[in-house]
Chains A and B, each alone.
Chain A
Amino acid sequence: MEALSPTMEEGRVVKWHKQDGDPVKTGETLAEVETDKAVMDLVARADGVLRQVAVAEGQTVPVGSVVAVIASPGETVGVSVAAAPPPAAAPSGGGMRDAGSGMRDAGGMAPTLADVARVKASPLAKRIAREAGVDLKLVTGSGPGGRVVKRDVEGSASRALAPAAAPAVVESHPASRIPHPAPLGLPLPERTGAAYQDVPLTQIRKTIAKRLATSLGPIPHFFLTTEVDMERAADARDALNKQLGDQGKVSFNDIIIKATALALTKHPACNAWFQETHIRYWHEVHIGMAVAVEDGLITPVIRNAELKSLADIGREAKELAEKARSRRLQPTEYTGSTFSVSNLGMFDIDQFTAVINPPEAGILAVGSIVQKPVVVDGQPAARRRMRITMSCDHRVIDGATGAAFLKTLKQMLENPLAMLL
């Protein structure tokens, strides 16, 4: 089982494309595997014949365990790969892990597994990978014996900018995670006998849980909220869409992404990562865009959003959201964001606080646009208004720093022409 995403620890075989005895060629898809992020293709790494398929469809095994053997035509495979147990009705991670290590002990497979587990890389490549957060297991080495060298990691880092540690998931519903303590003296009712259902954690849910537990706990969050007048943004959007006709469509979210990216270029202090020994200030802006998917959420990335036109952002956002929902995002498409935007406006949420997507230092939570009475020039008027809340990592961003960024963002949204400045 190959590591098909930076954070993958185990994978579930969704469907075998090749069967025992089928000839296979390097690069051909052997099976579809559900990782913690997406359904990915597991491809053949050698030419030969597929033998000893050890993992059944629906079964989950840890990264590094044998899923099958590619043999030369006519070769007798001397190694017996223990038949994996059939998938249990309610698979438990621990049980599967045991199954995996059982196979690991099977006969002469150990050296192969050791080869798989140890990534040969130059010391420099290892250091660069560590600093850039690139998973060496995902990098193809061009050196002798497949050694990963500097040029391989640099290529990969610039493609992905991708922290292995980089979380691709943002929680946007804090209410569901804030524990509600029982009122004093009123013990929670016993639920004995009540019907319930245990639903096994999906890969994506496991990752969401793991990633977010590393956020609100260790990261000292604080929140800044402001209300934005969206009248002129709405006019601008209508005008732009009229102009575009059937050439595409600009949404409020696209305008918010663009304005956020531009505001970040003016406030680089908010476009940063907190690291153990330093703060990394990015010179580029990559906006993570939280997208709800069937059983979780994921943040595909709009790279260099500050440089892209609204129409391009609109097209890209639509494409990425569709890929996210069909679980076809590639790792490079959901890693490397420097700041995130989460929008629950379409769910009629007025205002909320989002959980920072570590190691980013900030995330913007966008509420719905509602018409409400406000006082304009001393007179009551009906205006379209939107509440935005920025969550800040206080280790990187101080109150005044975050407020200054938010003020710039508000000015841009209230007067979209300011984005041209």
Chain B
Amino acid sequence: MATLTYRDALNQALREEMQRDPNVFLMGEEVGVYQGAYKVSRGLLEEFGPMRIVDTPIAELGFAGIGVGAAMGGLRPVIEFMTWNFAVLALDQIVNSAAKILYESGGQVPIPIVFRGPNGAALQLGAQHSQAWESWLSHIPGLKVVAPATPADAKGLLKSAIRDNNPVIVLEGEMLYNNKGEVPEGEHIVPIGQADVKRPGRDVTLICHSKTVAVALKAADQLAEREGVSAEVLDLRSLRPLDEPAILASVARTNRAVVVEEGWPHAGLGAQVVDVIQREAFDQLDAPVLRVTQADVPMPYNKQLERLAKASPERVVAAVRRVLYLD
């Protein structure tokens, strides 16, 4: 198995899917000549030409709409947003067109489109460019949402997203693109809707996705070393649909859960996970489920404040101590 960066795993998925299916094409700002703001599309223009690797003007609503129209016409567009902060401008096409056309056409017109790009905070990008959009996007019926944390999952989920006949949102991460991991070559598919136990444990389940998987794993290490606590790390991978059986199976093993998420606490994705647990695993719970989220403020630019505002291993450890009644 080759060791690849997250960005190259995405690149491999795009390349393989474009080789496999001539209807697949990539469109977005700087995806062609510049080879992607984060170099995800490196080498693709050379291989597939400007008809399939399409540079666009800075006009998110416009090229998202072109993508939806192309999908209606039978193509399989992959729309890259330089960041999901800019995709806010395209929400009308995503929410009102892509997510609804299958429904409003009485099931006649599928929209096999992928919207992808980095989501959430990176480092000192300021309040407007440091936002996590998963709870907004997961809210919408008609969309599927995935958030891979590892290079292997990035490749497997992007391939699934491209092959899916529904609009699929792929949430990547600027801080993830350089991460390395083993990636299976060729046909490697991660089905949408399957969570993954990234570390098994007995005492508490840390439910996380995307960048918070690393936060949870680090917290699990600290808990094992300092507290003798065995934490299970469950990577959701898909945010809509949620893998409820995997969540419930893990909580049944550990009886306690902490949800670790990017994004703000109010109406956040973790609230949805907590709802599943309290409803379906009530009798398994030994403690209320706690959430570790981003602070309920616009992301500070100041480096120290930004660090304190993000979900951190220290805050996860503190929450775990509370659900284990160690304090």
CB contacts (< 8 Å) of B287 on chain A: these are 122, 143, 149
Q: Are A124 and B255 in contact (CB under 8 A)?
A: yes
Interface size on A, residues (CB 8 A): 12
Binary flags per residue of B272-312, CB closer than 8 Å to A gives 1, else 0: 00000000001111110000000000000000000000000
Mind listing 27 A-B residue pairs with CB under 8 Å? A122-B285, A122-B286, A122-B287, A123-B282, A123-B283, A123-B284, A123-B285, A123-B286, A124-B255, A124-B283, A124-B284, A124-B285, A124-B286, A125-B286, A126-B283, A127-B283, A127-B284, A142-B325, A143-B287, A143-B325, A144-B325, A149-B286, A149-B287, A149-B325, A150-B255, A150-B286, A151-B325
Within 8 A of B (CB), among A112-136: 122-127
Residues on B lying within 8 angstroms of A by beta carbon are 255, 282-287, 325
CB contacts (< 8 Å) of B286 on chain A: these are 122-125, 149-150
CB contacts (< 8 Å) of B255 on chain A: these are 124, 150
CB contacts (< 8 Å) of A142 on chain B: these are 325
Q: B319 to nearest A CB, angstroms?
A: 14
13 other A-B residue contacts (CB within 8 Å) besides A150-B255, A150-B286: A122-B285, A122-B286, A122-B287, A123-B282, A123-B283, A123-B286, A124-B255, A124-B283, A125-B286, A127-B284, A142-B325, A143-B287, A149-B325
Bound form: Cα–Cα A122–B283 in Å: 8
Chain A residue, CB-CB nearest to B288? A122
Chain A residue, CB-CB nearest to B255? A124
Interface residues of B, dominant DSSP: loop
Bound form: Cα–Cα A124–B325 in Å: 14
Output the residue of B282, B284, B286, B325 with the most chain A CB within 10 A: B286
CB contacts (< 8 Å) of A125 on chain B: these are 286
Q: A309 to nearest B CB, angstroms?
A: 37
Bound form: Cα–Cα A150–B282 in Å: 14
CB contacts (< 8 Å) of A123 on chain B: these are 282-286
Q: A144 to nearest B CB, angstroms?
A: 7
By Cβ-Cβ distance, the 8 closest A-B pairs, closest first, are: A124-B286, A150-B286, A127-B283, A122-B286, A123-B285, A123-B282, A123-B283, A143-B325
Q: B16 to nearest A CB, angstroms?
A: 46
Bound form: Cα–Cα A154–B255 in Å: 14
Chain B residue, CB-CB nearest to A151? B325
Bound form: Cα–Cα A280–B285 in Å: 24
Bound form: Cα–Cα A149–B282 in Å: 14
Bound form: Cα–Cα A125–B325 in Å: 13
Q: A81 to nearest B CB, angstroms?
A: 35
Bound form: Cα–Cα A148–B325 in Å: 11
CB contacts (< 8 Å) of B282 on chain A: these are 123
Chain B residue, CB-CB nearest to A148? B286
Output the residue of A122, A143, A150, A151 with the most chain B CB within 10 A: A122
Q: B323 to nearest A CB, angstroms?
A: 10
CB contacts (< 8 Å) of A150 on chain B: these are 255, 286
CB contacts (< 8 Å) of A127 on chain B: these are 283-284
Bound form: Cα–Cα A122–B285 in Å: 7
CB contacts (< 8 Å) of B285 on chain A: these are 122-124
Within 8 A of B (CB), among A74-126: 122-126
Chain B residue, CB-CB nearest to A127? B283
Bound form: Cα–Cα A143–B322 in Å: 9
Q: B320 to nearest A CB, angstroms?
A: 15
Chain A residue, CB-CB nearest to B282? A123
CB contacts (< 8 Å) of A143 on chain B: these are 287, 325
Binary flags per residue of A183-223, CB closer than 8 Å to B gives 1, else 0: 00000000000000000000000000000000000000000
Chain A residue, CB-CB nearest to B284? A124
Q: B241 to nearest A CB, angstroms?
A: 26
CB contacts (< 8 Å) of B325 on chain A: these are 142-144, 149, 151
CB contacts (< 8 Å) of A124 on chain B: these are 255, 283-286
Bound form: Cα–Cα A317–B276 in Å: 52
Chain B residue, CB-CB nearest to A152? B325
Bound form: Cα–Cα A150–B284 in Å: 10
Q: A336 to nearest B CB, angstroms?
A: 23
Bound form: Cα–Cα A407–B193 in Å: 59
CB contacts (< 8 Å) of A151 on chain B: these are 325
Bound form: Cα–Cα A30–B286 in Å: 34
Bound form: Cα–Cα A81–B282 in Å: 39
Q: B43 to nearest A CB, angstroms?
A: 54
Chain A residue, CB-CB nearest to B278? A123
